[in-house]
Structure 1
Amino acid sequence: MVGSNSSVPSASASASKSFEIPESELYSFDADKIKEKLRIGQMWALYGDEDVEWSDPDMPTCCGKFDVRNSSQAYTSTDSFSHLLKAEPTGSKGEYTIVPRRGEIWALYRNWTRDIKCSDLENWEYDIVQVLEDNYFLFKVRVLDKVDGFNSVFKPQVKERTNVTLEIPRVNQLRFSHQIPRFQLTNERNGSLRGCWGLDPAALPPHYYS
């Protein structure tokens, strides 16, 4: 909330230690989070860490139930802001649910296990997926591949003329690492990228551009 936050495990933070994060080629994601667009009561994801239900208590999480803290923190810029969140109140005072929603794009831990440690994340690999369906039992997602020649443009992965999909049981929702801001491409590059997505490089796992 502009007053509260969920945290994006900062792929960008670990990446910036060794090399510069590339700029988005086709869309300015920074324009979506200028100060003038912030409103009281909004909930934003910030780059950082959050304790959760992992074997390693230092592992970050970006989906589940979150409580609004009775504390505040001042920011002089929006550099730490990732994206506006869709959070639903649970009915308990100050408690909200944040889960992957249809149409959103998320990073998914590859070879996932609850025993992943925070120290593993620097070299961990991820799949990029778009949520097709979310219901009481599972999330159905479509796997995306990076488009050759671009650092942050992705398209549906296709095998045997069919989009590759996965089903993630709700009980394994911790497999979702973090949401990635996206922009649907239409007429860019004379329409050659129609159906693709431009993703925020700052939220992409480092192995996609290392």
Structure 2
Amino acid sequence: MEALEATMEAVKEKILREDYIGATYAVMDAQNALLNHPDLSHVAVLCDVLRAKDIALPGCGIDWSWLLRLLPSASPSDVESQHRLLSSEISDLGPSFPGAATALALLDEARSALLDQVTETARPRWTAEDFVPDEIWAVFGASRFPRHHVKVKWMVSESEVLVSLLEPQPEQDEENLPSVCGVFKPSDDVMCVDIARFSHRMNCDRNELESLYRIRPNKGEIWAIYAGWNRNWRWTDQANCEYWVVEIVSEFGEERGIVVSRLVRVDGCETFFKREMHDGFQMVMYVCEAEILRFSHRIPAFTVPGIERHGILKGSLHLCPDALPPKPTWA
């Protein structure tokens, strides 16, 4: 009990100094030593909320989804439920606990902002000006990941794009494998897709004569790959698989394939990642041409200026939350 009280006093002092990173690490150390006492769990939530208010994404301000630990696609009921849960955690600390009133006000503001976003019909991430005929895009589908590729034909309205789905052209022994890389051909069928389902543009090699598109990971991109993939997989094997998150560090080579570097989550952050290091060396692996189908999907990512001021390693990447896999194997 004395250790818990000492930790709480140290955390309070750090929060009063607005040292939220230091408070977070103090809580983490105490959780390891005190077997995750409930009071420490409440303080951990408090620190997460207070830290989130100081990290503004380019052109977006505070990431309210991140603050409430929600995907951007969350429903109004998800927003309400998560707001109640986090508010309850912080309220249990009592109104006099340092930072509690500020955190509760932030949660209320996040709730209002997100409910506005999910109830308005014309506020998608993209606009009509973002789409050009013949571009190739990745879109979200039933799997909730951006695993489907489409070719843009034209805008139907301010919120819908007419597209043709790219169909994989597999080798005979690959017909039953999930495929986001390889050779694709536009379907003759067209469909209208809401622009909110579009994730990112895809770079690909084109054979205009045969209307074929070859999609491979490109240097600098971030992808999720299946940790235990093998060529005997079928679509049903995706349900219980685990993933690695990797950065592509080389262009594709016919002989050695692609070199990738595993990414690990930054301590105390849900969506910031850095390269995995061991004794000062970057950890890399090769994915050969025969294993190209172990790539699950690309994850949009970008850098956030000034994150080192908040205790996050400079150069760390912010990964799109709604494309992060549910069962990662990162440390």
Q: TM-score if structure 1 supplies the norm length?
A: 0.76
* Residue in structure 2 matching 1:132, options 231, 241, 249: 249
**Secondary structure of the corresponding residue to residue 133 of structure 1:** coil
Contact 1:66 1:95 in 2 (8 A): yes
> What is the rounded CA distance, in whole Å, between the counterparts of 2:260 and 2:124 in structure 1?
28
Instruction: Indicate yes or no: 2:182 matched with 1:64.
Output: yes
State the one-letter code of the partner of 2:182. G
Aligned residue for 1:163? 282
Pairwise CA distance, 1:120? 2.4
Aligned residue for 1:105? 222
Contact 1:110 1:127 in 2 (8 A): yes
Pairwise CA distance, 1:90? 3.0
1:113-163 CA distance string (max 9 Å, x none) = 012232222221111111111222210011100112222111001111111
Stretch moving more, 152-161 or 54-63: 54-63
Stretch moving more, 154-163 or 56-65: 56-65
Larger relative contact order (CA 8 Å, sep ≥ 6): 1
Aligned residue for 1:198? 318
> What is the rounded CA distance, in whole Å, between the counterparts of 2:70 and 2:265 in structure 1?
16
Contact 2:178 2:234 in 1 (8 A): no
Contact 1:103 1:131 in 2 (8 A): yes
Aligned residue for 2:232? 115
Aligned residue for 2:153? none
Question: What stretches of structure 1 of length at least 5 have no aligned partner?
Answer: 1-19, 25-29
State the one-letter code of the partner of 2:318. G
> What is the rounded CA distance, in whole Å, between the counterparts of 1:189 and 1:34 in structure 2?
32
> What is the rounded CA distance, in whole Å, between the counterparts of 1:53 and 1:150 in structure 2?
41
Pairwise CA distance, 1:202? 1.3
Aligned residue for 1:96? 213
CA gap of 1:79–1:139, structure 2 versus 1, over 3 A, is same
Aligned residue for 2:327? 207
The structure with the largest alpha-carbon Rg is: 2
**Secondary structure of the corresponding residue to residue 66 of structure 1:** strand
1:70-125 CA distance string (max 9 Å, x none) = 221112x2222121110211354211111011111111110220122322222211
Which has the larger helix fraction? 2
How many residues are treated as equivalent by the alignment?
Answer: 184
Aligned residue for 1:43? 136
**Secondary structure of the corresponding residue to residue 293 of structure 2:** helix
Aligned residue for 1:187? 306
Identity fraction in percent: 29
CA gap of 1:21–1:92, structure 2 versus 1, over 3 A, is farther
State the one-letter code of the partner of 2:190. S
